[in-house]
Each structure stands twice: as structure tokens, then as C-alpha cells.
Structure 1
Amino acid sequence: MGVRRTLVGLTFCTCYLAFYLLNKYVLSVLKFTYPTLFQGWQTFVGAFLLHVSWKLGWVEINCSSRSDVSTWLPASVVFVGVIYAGSRALSRLAVPVFLILHNVAEVIVCGYQKCFRKEKTSPAKTCSALFLLAAAGCLPFNDSQFDPDGYFWAVIHTCCVGSYKILRKSLKPNTLSDIDQQYLNYIFSVALLTIASHPTGDLFSVLDFPFLYFYRFHGSCCASGILGFFLMFTTVKLKSLLAPGQCAAWIFFAKVVTAALSVLLFDVVLTSATVGCLLLGGLGEALLVFSERKGS
């Protein structure tokens, strides 16, 4: 059983690494900045592969209850905000910066639990939230590649991620599994992003994209969609096999490796102040992992 958990963890880390680096390549190097189309494609591939897996009997999907579907609808709406704003932010920000800002979603969840649900918070978790918030707050003033639009969309992305996590805990119907939720997210995202592609201008602007007929662009998009599906699947598997603390440790490890390799593969300028912010954010997430392992 221990070997199986390790293999699932390593598979998750590989998918996480490949997914984020490939997305960064498409968004920043190829400059395919048409989020309704890019995210619409990824969610379409995810929905298709999940549907095929269901028909082949590899996964079980149960979304027949209209009440459960309507209950989950607000979370699916927020999920669209997560992937749309995340795509806009990642296209403009360095991967380590994006991941540090993404982590602030945990501060939102922690604040909600403490202020509205009156849950007790351990000192480690409180320090973690403070470090994550301080790291994200200092980054804009110390980032030599500061991009105001990138930070704006990162804030939207972070708020959506925090809201999604809160909704996921408070709205989760008993009959909807993690796979059911993701299936509904995919279906709703495809529909909404397809409709939004015209008013946002992406539908016709993409015709001017210089790499539209290049094989490396087609291959990268196909691989990105498939990797997104496998990342979702391995994340669900990881959470089902491991305790929350162990799962958080694997996610932290995947983020560290992804951030480190992105510095080698992409044009990232790191000053001592920026590195300090990143290390502070890493310390904050490490404390979060510690608090999860302690069961707080």
C-alpha cells in the first residue's frame, strides 16, 4: 500500500509539473492569450476523457439528481472564474510568483473558518496564513518583472480559488463525489466559455495568431488538455488514498519542483528581495503542511 501511495504521489507531481510548465509555454512563449478558447479546449478534453472513462467503467459518475446539480451550480460558476483568471495571470507572471499568489487562497479559507464558522485555528496555521499574506503583499513591490494586469488577474484567481474551496465544503451534496463535481465543472465550463468566446473577441482574434497552423502549437494544446485531465484524476486519487497532511505535503513538493524548474526554462529575473518573498511564501506553505499533518 505504501508503494502504491508513493507511485500515485510521484505521478501527481509529474502531471502537476508538466501541466503548469506546458501551460506557461503556450501562454507566454507562444503567446496564445485567448483564455476562453484555451480553457474551453482544456475543459472539453477533460469532459470528453472523463465521459469515455465513465462509459468504459473506469470511473463512476452519478449526476442524475437535478437538485444536486443545481446545488453545485454556484461552485461551477466560480470554477470558471478560477481557470479563466488563472490563465490570464499565468500568461503574464513568472510561475513561482503565480504559485505564491495562488497560495493566498488558503488565507481566505482560514479567515472564513475563523470569522464566520468560529473554528479554532492552531498557532502554526495562523503563522502560515500571516507568512503567505506577507509574501504575496511584498511581491508586487519587489518583483522586477512587475506586470499590473498579471497581478490583477492573480488577485481575481486567488479570490475565486478561495471561494471555490469554501463552496466545496459548504455546498457539497452527499451524492456527488469529487469526480461528479469535476464532471459538472467541465460541462458547465465548456458551455460558458464557448458562449463567452464571441463577446470577449477571442473567437475572431485567434485568426491572427501567428502559430495557429504550426504543429508545435497543436501538439502543445493537445498535451495540455490531456495533462489537465490526468492532473485532476491523480489529485482525486491522491486525496482518496492519503491523509490531508500527506496530500498537502505532496502538493507542496510539486509546487517547489515546478517553481524551481520554471526558473531554468523561462525568462525569470530574481532579485534578492524577490527570492526572500518566495522563501517566505514557501515557509508559510510548509507551516500549513505541518498544521495539516498535526490534524489542526
Structure 2
Amino acid sequence: MGSRNHAEDISKLTLKLHESTRVLDQTPSPGRRDLVSRSSFAMRSVENDEADLEGGKLEKEWDKSTHTNRIVKIHNQALLSGLAYCVSSCSMILVNKFVLSSYDFNAGISLMLYQNFISVVIVSIMSFMGIITTEPLTWRLIKVWLPVNAIFVGMLITSMFSLKYINVAMVTVLKNVTNVITALGEMYLFNKHHDNRVWAALFLMIISAISGGITDLSFHAVGYGWQIINCFLTAAYSLTLRRVMDTAKQVTRSGNLNEFSMVLLNNMLSLPLGILLVFVFREVDYLSQTPLLRLPDFWLVMTLSGFLGLAISFTSMWFLHQTGATTYSLVGSLNKIPLSIAGIVLFKVPTSLENSASIFFGLLAGVFFARAKMRERSQS
């Protein structure tokens, strides 16, 4: 009997609660809306950033936590992209040096051609799968880009030729001459003026290159000649690209030319020109006689160099997007220091105290130049 009365009391209490809830649902009062918003906040997504909870305290704590997580994420992305860029760029130069010197491969144009072919295949596959977007290669775009591509091919080929004869450390120091030529070109072509710190850094680069060449125990005149030509072509590529870029964007369908499209455009247009140069420099005869093409490990290293070449393009774009031009240029200068040390150690380059000092002096001049450019940009 007592249990029956207890059950009836529970039923009456439940009925009253349901009636109260129905009345509350039909009452559009501010207190009710606030109650509903408070009780349902835990089940809603983060999309409602306007919720008024505990006088905004919980909202502020959530924003603070989200902001902190976002900062950590960006810093991790910047660090990861920077490491990927440094590793890929260093590895690319070391692998090319290994192919050309350790294997004694005398077909630098063919190596460049194979690397660019791998880049074209991979970028085309990624574009077809929708991973990246690229502009269609129209005849108008090709005609505009051909001068840039001719310089691009010459830049790659002369880099291969010089790397065969010069050690990696001296190549990195001599590449600083490119900055000098580019600065002069900017001054005469674009009326751009540089401050005294930039010119001081450029002067230090010239001194380090001259002293490094004089004290180089493995000096090779042919290699130095190719490297000087490479410096002029690299500077010409940078300066020409600025002039052609606006025109190239105008002839594309979207009115824009992203980095992936430029990678595909440069590498694809280099294939017919590279094939022509292979016959001009008679590398076909060498390729038909060399036993290296019958070695699987040689093809593995060649293919690795092709993937690294494409990795440089992607990681540099990733790193530049995560940080900026100033950080990118500074890290690129600092990256030459471990690259030079690795080149001397791995390839057992004979060196002297004077030559090592010149190399180190040139690397520091590169870092000083990057910092001077950063300050120049911030002031302008």
C-alpha cells in the first residue's frame, strides 16, 4: 500500500515537472533564453562565439585558449617548413655533387633534363588529382615565358658544370656574387637605391669570393668560369622574372600565375631546350658509352635528385607562406653554413686555414647582407 502511494506521488511530481517545462517553452522571456543558452552551450559547436556565459568570462578563456593554440600551430608550421626547406636544399646540392663528382658523370645537361622531367610528371599528376591548381599552358603564355625559361635552363646547366669542378663550400661563397650583380641590376633597371649596410655587405662578399678563390687548394679555372656565368644568369633570371611576371599574369585565364604553375611552366618548357642541348654538347655519345646507366643504384640517386629538386620548389613556397620574405632570405643565408661544412667533410675537400677563414667570412657576409635587406625593407 505504501509503495503504491509512493509511486503515485512520483507520477504526480513528474506530471508537474512536464507541465512546468511546457509553460517555460512557451514563454519567450530573456531569462528563459539565457537559461537555454547556458544549458545547451556544452552541446553546441565553437561556431557560436557570441554566447554570454558567466559575464563573458568563459568566452574570454575560450578565445585565449584558441589564440594560444593558433600561435603554437603557426610556430610549428614555420619550424617544420623551415627545416624541410633547409634539408631539401642542402640535400639537393650534395646529391648533385655526388652524381657529378663521385660517379664522375659527365652529362650535366642530361641530369638536369631528367630532374625536370620528374618534376613535370609529379606536378601534372598532382594537378590532375586536384591536389594543386595550375594554369593551362597556352601559346600566348609560352611566348611570354620563353625568355625567362631560356635563362632558367642556362642557370641550371651552368650550376651543374661548376659543381662538377668546384667544392660545395666555394660554390656557396661564389654564389654571393649573384647578390652583387642583382643589386646593381635593381639600381640601373628599377632605380632602386640601397643603404650603406647593404653595400658594405656586398663589398664583404666580393672580398671573400676573391680571397677564397686565391686560397682554394682545389682551384679549377673551368669550374670558376662556369660559376661566374651562373652568377650572371641567376641575377638575370631574378631581374627578368620581375619584368615578365605582370605580363604573364595578363595572358592567363585566371589573371594569376601561382607558384605551382611557374614550376610546371619552367620545367616543361625546359624539356625541348634540354633535349636540343644534349645533342649540341654531344652528350648522346657519352650516354651511349657510359656504364653508369646500367647501374640500378645510379638511377636511384638520379631519381632522388629529381625528387629533391621538386621538394625545394614546394618547401620554399611552404616556408615563404608560413613566414615571409625576410625570414626566408635570412634562413637561406644561414643554411649555407652547415651546407659548406657538410660539403668539406663528406667529399674530403683539401683546405687550408686561409681558405676556411675566407669561406667562413663569406658566409657571415651573406648573413649580414640578409639582415641589412631585412632592415631596408622594414624602413621602406
How high is the TM-score relative to the length of structure 1? 0.95
Kept after mapping to 2: 8 A contact 1:68/1:176: no
Q: Which has the higher contact order (CA 8 A, sep 6+)?
A: 1
Greater mean deviation of Cα atoms: 87-96 or 50-59: 50-59
Match for 2:371: what amino acid?
F
Report matched runs for 1:1-296 at 5 Å. 1-173=74-246, 174=249, 175-296=256-377
Kept after mapping to 2: 8 A contact 1:63/1:69: no
Q: CA deviation at 1:10?
A: 0.4
Render the CA deviation track for 1:193-237: whole Å, top value 9, x for unaligned.
112212211012122323221122111001111111111111122
Supply the distance in 2 between the matched residues of 1:126 and 1:154 (Cα, whole angstroms). 22
Match for 2:141: what amino acid?
D
Q: CA deviation at 1:116?
A: 3.2
Q: CA deviation at 1:60?
A: 1.3
Kept after mapping to 1: 8 A contact 2:100/2:108: no
Render the CA deviation track for 1:2-35: whole Å, top value 9, x for unaligned.
1101100001111112111111110100011201
Q: CA deviation at 1:295?
A: 4.1
How many residues are treated as equivalent by the alignment?
296
Match for 1:110: what amino acid?
A
Kept after mapping to 2: 8 A contact 1:245/1:295: no
Whose radius of gyration is greater, 1 or 2? 2
Alpha carbons of structure 1 residues 127 and 261: separation in structure 2 relative to 1, 3 Å: same
Match for 1:168: what amino acid?
L
Pairwise CA RMSD of aligned residues? 1.5
Supply the distance in 2 between the matched residues of 1:22 and 1:230 (Cα, whole angstroms). 13
Kept after mapping to 1: 8 A contact 2:137/2:265: no
Greater mean deviation of Cα atoms: 69-78 or 90-99: 69-78
Supply the distance in 2 between the matched residues of 1:92 and 1:240 (Cα, whole angstroms). 35
Tell me, what secondary structure is at the counterpart of 2:130?
coil
Render the CA deviation track for 1:40-76: whole Å, top value 9, x for unaligned.
0001011111111111222211144543332222111
Supply the distance in 1 between the matched residues of 2:259 and 2:376 (Cα, whole angstroms). 22
Kept after mapping to 2: 8 A contact 1:27/1:91: yes
Supply the distance in 1 between the matched residues of 2:195 and 2:86 (Cα, whole angstroms). 28
Structure 1: any 5+ residue segments left out of the alignment?
none
Kept after mapping to 2: 8 A contact 1:40/1:190: yes
Q: CA deviation at 1:267?
A: 2.5
Supply the distance in 1 between the matched residues of 2:290 and 2:200 (Cα, whole angstroms). 46
Percent identity of paired positions between Structure 1 and Structure 2: 19
Match for 2:354: what amino acid?
A
Render the CA deviation track for 1:211-269: whole Å, top value 9, x for unaligned.
22112211100111111111111112222222211001221232211111111100211
Q: CA deviation at 1:117?
A: 2.3
Structure 2: any 5+ residue segments left out of the alignment?
1-73, 250-255
Supply the distance in 1 between the matched residues of 2:168 and 2:82 (Cα, whole angstroms). 21
How high is the TM-score relative to the length of structure 2? 0.75
